[in-house]
Amino acid sequence: MTNSTIERFPDSTLLALAPGYRFQWEEAQNCHVLMYPEGMVSLNDSSGEILKHVDGANSVADIISHLERQFPDADLGDDVRDFLAEAGNNGWVKPSTDDKANS
């Protein structure tokens, strides 16, 4: 089932975690998590690998490139774009105001 109502970020968009969210490894959960004041989101391995690169300086295209180098036998572009769109829809990530990559 495809959710066509979620708009993807353009590949050139620099992404950062939204204010109030912190990405970390949670030993007790044995997975990466997103911590926020009201709780925690447990992430699967794929989501954790993607969010490792959401640092305010990497664009969507950069994130895909990092992951395709890490997993060369996989065609990841659409899945990464879909996850980042869903993460944006959930309020976990947002476009960064960091212009380092554009200078």
What percent of the chain shows pLDDT beyond 90?
86
- Per-residue model confidence (pLDDT) at position 100: 47
- Per-residue model confidence (pLDDT) at position 28: 93
- Per-residue model confidence (pLDDT) at position 103: 36
- Per-residue model confidence (pLDDT) at position 6: 78
Name the CATH superfamily, with its identifier, for domain 19-89.
Coenzyme PQQ synthesis protein D (PqqD) (1.10.10.1150)
The order of strands in the sheet holding 31-36 is 22-26, 31-36, 39-42
Dist. CA 97–CA 74, nearest whole Å: 31
Q: Where are the domains of the chain?
A: 19-89
List, for the chain, all residue ranges whose pLDDT scores fall below the cut of 70. Answer: 1-5, 98-103
Which tens digits make up the pLDDT trace of 52-78? 999 999 999 999 999 999 999 999 999
